[in-house]
Amino acid sequence: MLVAIGPGSAAVNVWGPGSVTHVGVALAFGCVILAAVYAVGHVSGAHLNPAVTVGFWVGRRFPTSDVLPYIVAQLAGATLAALGLRFVLGRAAAAAATVPMIDVAQACAVEVALTFILMFVIMAVATDARVASPVAGVAVGATVAADALAGGPLTGASMNPARSFGPALATGTWSSHWIYWVAPLAGATLAVWTYDYLRQGTSHDHRVRHRARAAPTPHAVLVHGQLGTQPDGRSAPQPQGERALPR
């Protein structure tokens, strides 16, 4: 799904010059990720991305025994989709490959940053019980689209070794391919460490409430419920104080 629609839209944009546009390609990526999360997130987690799989493993949220099978499956799916693009679009399929348009060091930094943003959002919506689960697909899809809008012209906004590997293998486009492995894995790992650090802190609820109508006040009374530290965001809330609010 990801490679056929995302990189596929980039290839179609070359096959029919300007028919999709850069904005259209970014939206295609975001929409297909949104669809995949809702379609198979409950079945496999809808990683679609070796960097995400490794990120969850680094954060001790994915079993070691499943890492290699997931990555093999991701690479296989991406390669099959890319071969399909080459069969349908011919030489235009080369546009599905990711090639840096800027200096190698700059491209690596861009891919680290883009993947960091993506994995940070995934950690929030997929591992923290305080985040409403129905928003996961929208949040991740929107993040991918935003990253693609910003970074697409610079590096292809891969954020995903499998997404880059499949088209590279199918079209023989290996220019600076190592970037699309090293940078996403580094960005995802940094994002996992960052979110796991942030989730250690005390959570605050800044909702407001009014006093009883019999004694109105000109301003709302802040209900500042301080909740106990919950490292994984999954354990039961531990209210502290009279007006603490549950997560």
Is pLDDT larger for residue 169 or for residue 200? 169
Are the C-beta atoms of residues 133 and 125 closer than 8 Å to each other? yes
**Which is it for strands 221-222 and 225-227: parallel, antiparallel or unpaired?**
unpaired
Residue 210 confidence (pLDDT) above 90: no
Residue 225 confidence (pLDDT) above 60: no
**Tens digit of pLDDT for each residue in 87-119?**
999 999 999 999 999 999 999 999 999 999 999
Tokens at 166, concatenated: 């499949």
Residue 190 confidence (pLDDT) above 50: yes
Domain count, the chain: 2
Phi, psi dihedrals of residue 227, rounded to the nearest 5°: -105, 150
CATH number (domain holding residue 87): 1.20.1080.10
What's the whole-number mean pLDDT along residues 207-224? 42
Is pLDDT larger for residue 21 or for residue 132? 21
Residue 86 confidence (pLDDT) above 70: yes
Model pLDDT, residue 237: 42
Model pLDDT, residue 106: 97
**Same-domain check for residues 141 and 225:** no
Q: How confident is the model at residue 203 (pLDDT cuts 50, 70, 90)?
A: low
- Which of 162, 180, 198 marks a domain boundary? 198
Q: What angle do CA 150, 156, 160 make, to 5 degrees?
A: 105
**Same-domain check for residues 23 and 85:** yes
Are the C-beta atoms of residues 82 and 90 closer than 8 Å to each other? no
Are the C-beta atoms of residues 20 and 156 closer than 8 Å to each other? no
**Pick from 44-58, 127-141, 149-163: least confident:** 127-141
**Same-domain check for residues 94 and 57:** yes
Model pLDDT, residue 232: 53
Rounded to an integer, what distance in angstroms lies between the CA atom of residue 203 and that of residue 186?
A: 28
**Same-domain check for residues 238 and 128:** no
Model pLDDT, residue 165: 97
CA-nearest of 66, 48, 42 to 136 is 42
Residue 204 confidence (pLDDT) above 70: no
**Same-domain check for residues 68 and 149:** yes
Full 3-state SS string of the chain:
CHHHHHHHHHHHHHHCCCCCHHHHHHHHHHHHHHHHHHHHHHHHCCCCCHHHHHHHHHCCCCCHHHHHHHHHHHHHHHHHHHHHHHHHHHHHHHHHCCCCCCCHHHHHHHHHHHHHHHHHHHHHHHHCCCCCHHHHHHHHHHHHHHHHHHHHHHHCCCCCHHHHHHHHHHHCCCCCCCHHHHHHHHHHHHHHHHHHHHCCCCCEECCEECCCCCCCCCCCEECCEEECCCCCCCCCCCEECCCCCCC
Q: For residue 219, give its domain range.
A: 202-247
**Same-domain check for residues 111 and 226:** no
**Same-domain check for residues 17 and 105:** yes
**Same-domain check for residues 233 and 193:** no
- Which of 157, 178, 198 marks a domain boundary? 198
Residue 206 confidence (pLDDT) above 80: no
When the pLDDT of each residue in the chain is averaged and rounded to a whole number, the result is 85
**Same-domain check for residues 217 and 187:** no
**Same-domain check for residues 7 and 49:** yes
CA-nearest of 179, 177, 184 to 117 is 184
**Same-domain check for residues 119 and 225:** no
Q: Which amino acid is at 232?
A: D
**Same-domain check for residues 120 and 76:** yes
